[in-house]
Structure 1
Amino acid sequence: MYRIGFGIDFHQLVEGRDLYIGGVKIPHHKGALGHSDADVLLHAVCDALLGALALGDIGMHFPNNDPKYKDIDSKILLKKCYELIRERGYKVVNVDSSICLEEPKIKKYSLSMREIMAELLEIGLEDVSVKATTTEKMGFVGREEGLVAYATVLLVKGTDQ
């Protein structure tokens, strides 16, 4: 009846790119580098959804060498992953996620991120958690060379739950 999925994603931070996290464009002097809009949080949630049902990973479904996914909005990718889950008779119970980055601080954007994910996944706001932490200046995240997101999802079989 229940399936748990875990997802993780990494992206480099570079000058000249917009920064999208959780479907929200966040003002910053660096953005995430990637084939799509490089939304590290939504990519981690996508992988968690896919992993819960052993459906592969985001790269398998949306290859980074396919021009149709160039600069695509990751909200579209999340919606497509959610549709794959629904086609198999599952729905999302909840999402728990964490983002690791030094800057920018995202507390004031986290509610919007939660609202976007709740709407796309057809769950309540109280069923989506977005947390953030730093790495205390250690590693590539601490040097502001990149960012990481982790996500765990719980799925339930059936629509009456």
Structure 2
Amino acid sequence: MNLRVGLGTDRHPFKKDRKFILGGVQIDFPLGLDGHSDADVLCHAVIDSLLGAASLQDIGVHFPEIDEWKNASSLQMLVKITELLRKENWQIVNLDTTVVCGAVRLSEYRDQMIANLSKAMQIPKECVSIKFKSSNHLGFESNEGVSAIAVCLISRSSAS
């Protein structure tokens, strides 16, 4: 069996007049995240971890900053990347993520985020972990924006 690990990170600053989408969930907060798509840092980090594990470049190659992807759902982008991995005979084994955000408590949204990522990647909820950190009032994530890191394991049978 061929196993590979992937690592992805992302960060976006807060912006007025935008929705705050994280893990495909709209967060109740007066600011959103600035970005070309919906700026879902969690989905972006997950996408890059999957692409990295499969040696399929990065999110910018697959979803360039063109009109087609303007304000696009990052959760739908994750669905497309999952389909790409499946076409390449990769199976997603598990995902571990950490979101750093000091401006708003996110734990009440965890279950829905896990459900969204699980469905998008077609893996059991028990194989998806999302952790939240407050930043301890330090740096960018204390009140300027949000960052995320994701680590995934993918597998492919030796016959592929």
Q: TM range, normalised to the smaller chain? A: over 0.9
What pairs with 1:87-106 in structure 2 (closer than 5 Å)? 87-106=87-106
Q: Distance in 1 between matches of 2:64 and 2:145?
A: 21
Structure 1 SS opposite 2:37: coil
Identical pairs, percent: 37
User: Contact 1:47 / 1:58 at 8 angstroms: preserved in 2?
Assistant: yes
Q: Which TM-score applies when normalising by structure 2?
A: 0.95
Gapped regions of structure 1 (runs ≥ 5): none
Query: Are 1:112 and 2:112 an aligned pair?
Result: yes
Matched to 1:20, the amino acid is I
Aligned residue in 2 for 1:139 = 139
The structural deviation recorded for 1:16 is 1.3
Aligned residue in 2 for 1:31 = 32
Q: Distance in 2 between matches of 1:156 and 1:47?
A: 16
Q: Describe the superposition over 1:57-105 as per-residue Cα deviations: whole angstroms up to 9, x where unpaired.
A: 10111012x1000000111110111111111111100000000001211
User: Contact 1:14 / 1:145 at 8 angstroms: preserved in 2?
Assistant: no
Structure 1 SS opposite 2:29: coil
Count residues in correspondence.
156
Aligned Cα RMSD in Å?
0.8
Q: Distance in 1 between matches of 2:54 and 2:91?
A: 11
List structure 1 segments (4+ residues) > 6 angstroms apart after TM superposition. Answer: none
Gapped regions of structure 2 (runs ≥ 5): none
Aligned residue in 1 for 2:85 = 85
Aligned residue in 1 for 2:148 = 149
Aligned residue in 1 for 2:43 = 42
Q: Which TM-score applies when normalising by structure 1?
A: 0.95
